[in-house]
Chains A and B, each alone.
Chain A
Amino acid sequence: MELAIGIILGCCALGAGLAMIAGIGPGIGEGNAVAKACEAIARQPESKGSVTTTMLMGCAIAETTGLYALVIAILLIFVAPNILVDILVNTISSL
């Protein structure tokens, strides 16, 4: 019983850590976007306002996949262990 609960908790934590690997993608993507925005501003300083607005919008949209991973990680850490342990206790007590 203790071993089973331990496995559940450990695997939830591992899964949360693995889910956050998705943070690599938005990091690279946003870096590219900001680099290009810097180039654009250097070439045409008068278009700074609109370039900055568009860049922030694009960054926010590129961030979405990372935030999905974050939500999954938070669910795995704070929500999943309780539910899974409840299920385990119920099945063992019903046997």
Chain B
Amino acid sequence: MQKVSWRFKLVDALYIAMMTLPLLFAVILKVMTKAPSEGISITGAQVYFSIKMPLQDLVITESQVNSFFVLIIIIGVCLYLTHGISEKCDLKRQHLAELIVEKVDGLVVENMGEYFKGFSPFIIAMMALSAFSSLLSLFGLFPPTSDINIVGGWALLVFFLITYYKLKAGPWVYMKSFAQPVAILTPINIISEVATPVSMAFRHYGNVLSGSVISVLLATALGGLSSMVLGKLPGFLADIPLFQIGIPAVLSIYFDVFSGCLQAFIFAMLTMMYVAGGFPEDEYKKRKAKKKSKINN
């Protein structure tokens, strides 16, 4: 192992700061702006300020700010993992980076085929964005994925991608695909086309939101239970949070860590399946061959 220069360490420290400081800023922002509340409080994203716009006011909410913090964290992680990579692979982090790249490449090629090999950066970006956003709730922050606007935007992006790849074989093939297998089913096919982004957005948002709602309800119920058991005791003994220690953490492991990562994986898998499933490969090849023969003639 060669000796690392001070410049290398400085850049490393910069990247680590990029990973940790946004989290700190988000927590400070939350503590400064959030009003203290009593009892059950299940609220949506907090509105920081709104910008005057011609049609409707553009509101900047907690979820938007937090998702930009997540973007900075992900860029920091990427820069840190790829900093100082070499052919000899003498840093530990390079192994992790290579592992991630290989796994995602394998997943994409396995599920989408060789034609979509260039899709793996998009897929891992989607996965990382979704997973990191859901994991923000571990720090007591508002997870951007429990806001329908954020997840709906991602679903809309995926919908545009699906339509783009369906249009690859020409608009006529795209129009004809709605009348499959019989022409009577056209309205139902159009409904199912529109339902794709809606169901993707609702699935992700509903899972994360239901987790946070159940966590809040359980925390309140445990608070009531411990005050019922210890409430009769004199002095500070009545305020001991007997049941709030440890029990919410078990639920948090399921709802925040497991469910958040699983939803990220499922969102990415569904993206891959819809994009690869809607792509008319045979017609595309035919069209390409036709174009080639035209050019040759």
Contacts and interface: CB of A to CB of B under 8 A. Distances in A.
Nearest to A65: B199
A4 interface: no
Main secondary structure of the interface of A (DSSP, over half): helix
A67 B210 contact: yes
Given A56-B266, A78-B42, A67 B213 contact: no
Interface residues of A, number: 12
Interface in B243-297: 262-263, 265-266, 269-270
Main secondary structure of the interface of B (DSSP, over half): helix
Nearest to B111: A53
A64 interface: yes
B269 A67 contact: no
A74 B265 CA distance: 25
A67 B207 contact: yes
Nearest to B107: A53
Contacts, number: 34
B269 A57 contact: yes
B76 interface: no
Interface in B200-243: 202-203, 205-207, 209-210, 213
Contacts of B213: 74
Interface residues of B, number: 17
Interface in A63-85: 63-64, 67-68, 70-71, 74, 78
A70 B199 CA distance: 13
A60 interface: yes
B255 to A, nearest CB: 14
A67 B266 contact: no
A56 B262 CA distance: 8
Contacts of B266: 56-57, 60
A67 B265 CA distance: 18
Interface of B: 42, 44, 199, 202-203, 205-207, 209-210, 213, 262-263, 265-266, 269-270
Given A60-B262, A68-B206, 20 more contacts: A53-B269, A56-B262, A56-B266, A57-B269, A57-B270, A60-B203, A60-B263, A60-B266, A63-B203, A63-B207, A64-B203, A67-B206, A67-B210, A68-B202, A70-B206, A70-B210, A71-B206, A74-B209, A78-B42, A78-B44
